[in-house]
Structure 1
Amino acid sequence: MTFASTPIPSRTEYVLESIKHAILTGGLTPGQALVETELAGQLGVSKTPVREALKTLAGSGLVVMSRYKGATVRMVDATMAHEVCDVRLLLEPEALRRSVAGGVSFEAAQDALDRADEAADAAERSLENRAFHRALYLPCGNPLLSRMLDELRDQAALVSTAAWATHPSWEREAGEHREILQLAVAGKADAAAKALHSHIASFVSRAFPESTSDTP
């Protein structure tokens, strides 16, 4: 696998963003071992910034650190997917409702939708999906709420990447995105929030159906 060598001021930040991008676009797959020496060679750096980047990614939930196995890309299962989406369902629709009530234009969300429609591959489409959702909640007027959703955003993207690998449903979700944005632009705060809630809930239930084998 090759990484884009874009020069940025911080070597550790460059390594962090490169590994994160590879994870969230499927270049590094769930369960894959992240060997410091291999990553350092691919990125043209020493092991130190790689080690620091992996620690940061473990803190954000994208990487699992094990005493025996070392670092691996986090596996995505139904439990993890539903936990992430449960938190999103609690926070994201309310953030959108507040954004709409604040009278924002949602130009950034429309731009993300347009770029997603023109995406050359699933990796690019996944990145624009993240950008769309962030453009909905970022102008909510509560910086703490925005930061909480930002902290969850990488795990949410990992869930989407894993789901799309086996259930490529982005065309359906793109249609739902357009409906949500149309309601938001029209100033229908409650309806937009309800549509977003349905969008998130239906995605996780389709991609990660919970087992009912133990249900009497």
Structure 2
Amino acid sequence: MTASFRRALGQRFNPAGILFTVSVALRQPHLFLPHLSVRDMRSIDWAALRQVGFRGVVLDKDNTLTAPYLRSLWPPLADSLRECVQAFPGQVAVFSNSAGLREYDPDGSEARALEESIEGIHVIRHEAKKPAGSAEEIERVFGCPTSQLVMVGDRYFTDVVYGNKNGFLTILTEPLCLSKEPFVVQQVRKFESFLVSLWNRKRLKPVEHPLRCEAVKCVKDLV
């Protein structure tokens, strides 16, 4: 089975991730709740986040930076990404379940292609697929604890759960282009939204983060 086929299949169906997610939902549902929710990266004041104490930014790829499974940046985000890099020089990276994940990108070709298309921003190579895995690889890249890093992504079950369980400040964005996603992913999104809506009605709170109150001031157009 080729790496490209495994990548395509794995992005549509992730049984290990499903089992992990069910376990978290039953035992720690607050991990699904982001600290902040925004429309997209343009709602984030990157310079302000730096001023309140954050030292780096970790970005998801598909439907956060790019349309699903494409390598090029979503054009309306160009200015925001540039501002992010200016606020955090050398401290912005992509952590994706496609590019850089060794199971689907063993030779790093997807990661290198993405790096070339997004102003040289580093794509972290890693072993475990979000939401599983620790943040040791990310901490080595940034040289600081995850409590000083911001995790930005569009998925509750992957980006938010991974970020919360590992101590990041989590910011959820709305997906950029739902029409490009496979049917299975669209259905999982509906299930995610149902569960999160249920927990919000029960007034479940996100996990604590020491800089959350300050971070709220750095975001406009909260969803």
Task: Sort the TM-score into its range (normalised by shorter chain).
Answer: under 0.3
- Flag the structure with higher helix content: 1
- Give the TM-score of the pair, scaled to structure 2: 0.27
> Which has the greater radius of gyration?
1
- Give the TM-score of the pair, scaled to structure 1: 0.28
- Flag the structure with higher strand content: 2
